[in-house]
Homo-oligomer: A and B are copies of this chain.
Amino acid sequence: MENQTKQRYFSFVDLMGLEQRYRAAFVNSLSGFKSLALIGTANCSKQTNLAIFNSLFHIGANPPYIGFISRPDSVDRHTLSNIMETGYYTINHINEEIYKQAHQTSARYAREISEFDATHLTPDYKLGFKAPFVKESHIQMGVQFKERINITTNNTVLVIGQINQVYFPNDCLCTDGFLDIEKAKTITCSGLDSYHKTERLARLTYAKADRDVSIAKLGYIE
């Protein structure tokens, strides 16, 4: 790539001058490939809700905590209110077979309509967990709400939860604990609406200052 000749530039002032939807599409592209998940909840009357999120991220492994960003003015709002009501939710990876249905959950359905029904995804209750899992998902987590952090600069909310249950395909677990989510068919997205499958370049060895990195083996558990 000839960086010098082909590169284009936007300043902050340029960005602020863009038409609103154009700016949303552009700025949403800048944060790179994103984690995709369907978050399943139910309210106290057992009315279920399912919504797609592209802002999942690792908080810590000890204890196992996972976070996501909720935008209260969007369709996420039922997810957040259900989590506040019950304290539990499920996080379900999205694969190639269900990504169109997953995207469709972002439509503004009325509260009394479950996105499970509207998008023909199957609620799955496991071990008495209060929130529904997505049966068609290959990696599913049952999560307990831990902390809500309001990001006042733009009225978004960071929701942190503890992973209480994990279900995953047995043949995707490696001997060092790495879970091969590509083998489990998990996909990623970019921008607001672009879905991508992946192809592994390599796993790399732990980086040390006195040696170059090299390719690590993928040893699956038998």
User: How many copies of this kind of chain does the complex include?
Assistant: 2
Q: A169-B6, A200-B195 are in contact. Are A177 and B23 (CB under 8 A)?
A: yes
With a cutoff of 8 Å between Cβ atoms, the chain B residues found around residue A26 in the complex are: 61, 173, 177-179
CB distance from A189 to the nearest CB of B (A): 9
Q: Interface SS of chain A: helix, strand, loop or mixed?
A: mixed
CB distance from A36 to the nearest CB of B (A): 6
| Docked-complex contact A22 and B176, CB < 8 angstroms | yes
Q: A12-B162, A35-B33, A200-B196 are in contact. Are A212 and B24 (CB under 8 A)?
A: no
CB distance from A31 to the nearest CB of B (A): 4
Q: How many residues of A contact B (CB 8 A)?
A: 118
| Docked-complex contact B25 and A176, CB < 8 angstroms | yes
Q: Is A130 an interface residue (CB 8 A)?
A: no
Top 8 closest pairs, chain A to chain B, by CB: A32-B35, A22-B177, A25-B177, A29-B179, A33-B188, A196-B198, A27-B61, A107-B207
7 CB < 8 A contacts A-B: A1-B185, A6-B171, A23-B61, A25-B176, A103-B213, A118-B209, A199-B199
